[in-house]
A and B are shown apart, each in its own frame.
Chain A
Amino acid sequence: MLNNQGRPTVAEKTDSPVGSIETFTGNRGLQIEEPLLFEVGSLDNCGVDLAEMPKHKNRLGVMARDSDIGLAGLSEPETMRHYVRLSQKNYSIDTGFYPLGSCTMKHNPRLNEKMARLPGFGNIHPLQPQKTVQGAFELMGDLSHWLMRLTGTNAVALSPKAGAHGELCGMMAIKAAHKAAGSKRNIVLVPDSAHGTNPATAALIGYKVRSIPASDDGSVSVESVLEVLDDDVAALMLTNPNTGGVFEKDIKKIADAIHKAGAYFYCDGANLNALMGRARPGDFGIDAMHINLHKTFSTPHGGGGPGAGPVVFSDALAPYAPLPYLRRDGDSWHMVETREGIEDDSHVPFGRMVAFHGQMGMFVRALTYMMSHGSDGLRQACTDAVLNANYLRASLQDIMSLPFGERKCMHEVLFDDSFLKGTDVTTLDFAKAIIDEGFHPMTIYFPLVVQGAMLMEPTETESREALDQFIGTVRNLVSRAKAGDVDYFKNAPVLAPRRRMDETKAARKPVLRWSEGMEG
């Protein structure tokens, strides 16, 4: 007797109306809609059990709380679901290719995470007695050593909290040095192609920004610097390789000219991934440069931080490096935390950037990454990053458009939108169509010096197969755009957790928090 019970094991082929199905829940299979925490939680729900409060004398005084805060709580299983469902609405490096130019989205090794969580690193307090944290100082000392060796410098300040904070630290050292020399220079030169943080940083400490126009090939020439260089200039801020992914060939000449004019050279180190192990910024004549540990040295981006922005200094600026800093005393380490603790009179720190000593959690991760690669591995990583970017360039330049001609790039490649001319498809539309294909789009509309910029940075942790898949997809999309299928692009994305968002509405009537009875 044949048994015909049980589930069918072959999928029946039907015409699938993908995208048009409306489910009762609004959920789409694995994509589950998740309400706001305040719509599912309550004041009474709680996912933490605590010991009972012992008898005590209340010493809160008149300020003791006498009303509810309004915070919604969830039990542990509800919490787990809420955040797992939310996580599934995010694209990440671990999901797929993430060629976001200027952001260095490389693989984040999990050994880094494990090391940062060792109780000896993760569970020590910044103000516990120094003799109980010698291992932490040793780690900071080692990290400093690696950073100085890789950049060809002799001093580093670890404390800045992120890239922009590092810029601020470097520029403060420059201003302090000018002040010490009695100079009242008030201009900082910034190329048009710079990250927005550069002019914002200069302005924050009272400098006026004078812009340097880009040359025809997108780089900064020594001539264009000389044109705007005078006795009022305190510093030049320059990114190298620049934000178009091109090495600034004149860099040494520019540095010399800047120094000759009595100014300092601040280098934005956001793109160090293109140099590490192959060239040292110290040899270019930089005076200060921040290093984004969350880019080059793989500490996770975490949806927007935390970062870390240690700054290396030339010998000229080293004396002004901020508090706190490490000093080796025989066999032990000492953290100099206040001016009173300074023993060497030649050190005149400009001040303090932050409470405590900086992003220790990021230091551990970055050093773990460096030790894993080693000097040879870092050099290879840099080489592969540049190789991958050039491979993208070589594979796409015939159908996309390079704003500055067919030339080699460093770790990232910049296209403009002229290949879309006449199609009515914009850079934004093109990026949104890439989302539907399962990739994260490249950086768009930055740098501002080219029309409709598309900046791709693949990093070294992408395989050839991953690159080929992306290249094939982009080529297909270009063909589709040129074939006039404009609606396809204007509608994109249709397969992401959300379609295009109304940013105008968000900005005109900003709703920045949940409140009882809120619409939407």
Chain B
Amino acid sequence: MSQTYYSKDHEYIILEDKVATIGITDYAQKQLGDIVFVELPEAGAELEQGGEAAVVESVKAASEVYAPISGTVTEVNPDIEADPSIVNQSAETGAWFLKMEVNNVDDLDGLMDEDAYKSYVEGLE
């Protein structure tokens, strides 16, 4: 049983038991334009909520991806490091960034569900 959350920084978090799969939303990938490079943390890294987790680069900009929750990185996606264009093609359907074991599931309380994120994004446009 999994549940999906969204952050204001345009990350999605799919929680399954205590493991969260994190990536950026389709809206975020569109805003960034052609993504040319993704820098991911190493497995084993401990991330704090709000701390820098990854960097996504387009030709003209570099954006930090902040950890939406605290936890320990268990796995990163080697495919997007090898071919960052798949983030543009399938941001929410395969181009996940990292998986982490969540320290405290309650951290997710402040995040949005799909409907809330949808209206949040509409408000931005």
Contacts and interface: CB of A to CB of B under 8 A. Distances in A.
Direct A/B contact, Cβ within 8 angstroms: yes
A507 B57 CA distance: 10
Interface string A472-505: 0000000000000000000000000000000110
B36 interface: yes
Nearest to B33: A504
Contacts of B57: 507
Contacts of A507: 36-37, 57, 59
B82 to A, nearest CB: 11
Contacts of B85: 508
Interface string B75-117: 0000000001100000000000000000000000000000000
B48 interface: no
B63 to A, nearest CB: 14
Contacts of B36: 504, 507-508
Nearest to A508: B36
B34 interface: yes
A504 B85 CA distance: 10
Interface string B30-74: 000010110000000000000000000101100000000000000
A123 B115 CA distance: 73
Interface residues of A, number: 5
A508 B56 CA distance: 12
Interface size on B, as a range, is under 10
B58 to A, nearest CB: 8
A457 B124 CA distance: 35
Nearest to A503: B59
Contacts of B59: 503-504, 507
A508 B38 CA distance: 10
B84 to A, nearest CB: 7
Interface string A440-451: 000001000000
Nearest to A506: B59
Interface in A253-298: none
Contacts of A508: 34, 36-37, 84-85
Contacts of A504: 34, 36, 59
Interface in A323-366: none
B83 to A, nearest CB: 8
A507 B61 CA distance: 12
B79 to A, nearest CB: 14
A388 B97 CA distance: 52
A508 B84 CA distance: 8
Contacts of B37: 507-508
A445 B60 CA distance: 11
Contacts of B60: 445
A504 B57 CA distance: 11
Nearest to B57: A507
A507 B37 CA distance: 8
A111 to B, nearest CB: 40
Nearest to A445: B60
A432 to B, nearest CB: 15
Contacts of A503: 59
A504 B60 CA distance: 9
A508 B36 CA distance: 5
Interface string A26-40: 000000000000000
A508 B82 CA distance: 9
A503 B60 CA distance: 9
A504 B88 CA distance: 12
B52 to A, nearest CB: 15
Nearest to B85: A508
A444 to B, nearest CB: 11
B99 to A, nearest CB: 25
Interface in A423-456: 445
A314 B36 CA distance: 45
A283 B114 CA distance: 58
Count chain A CB atoms within 10 A of each CB in B34, B37, B57, B60 and give the residue with the most. B34
A380 to B, nearest CB: 39
A421 to B, nearest CB: 16
A509 to B, nearest CB: 9
B42 to A, nearest CB: 23
Contacts of B34: 504, 508
A374 to B, nearest CB: 43
B70 to A, nearest CB: 23
Count chain A CB atoms within 10 A of each CB in B37, B59, B60 and give the residue with the most. B59
Contacts of A445: 60
A445 B36 CA distance: 20
A504 B37 CA distance: 10
A445 B34 CA distance: 18
B31 to A, nearest CB: 15
A334 to B, nearest CB: 47
Nearest to B84: A508
A507 B56 CA distance: 13
A445 B59 CA distance: 14
Interface of A: 445, 503-504, 507-508
Given A503-B59, A504-B34, A508-B36, 4 more contacts: A507-B59, A508-B37, A508-B84, A508-B85
Of all A-B residue pairs in the complex, the 6 with the closest CB atoms, nearest first, are A507-B36, A504-B34, A503-B59, A508-B36, A507-B59, A504-B59
14 contacts: A445-B60, A503-B59, A504-B34, A504-B36, A504-B59, A507-B36, A507-B37, A507-B57, A507-B59, A508-B34, A508-B36, A508-B37, A508-B84, A508-B85
Interface of B: 34, 36-37, 57, 59-60, 84-85
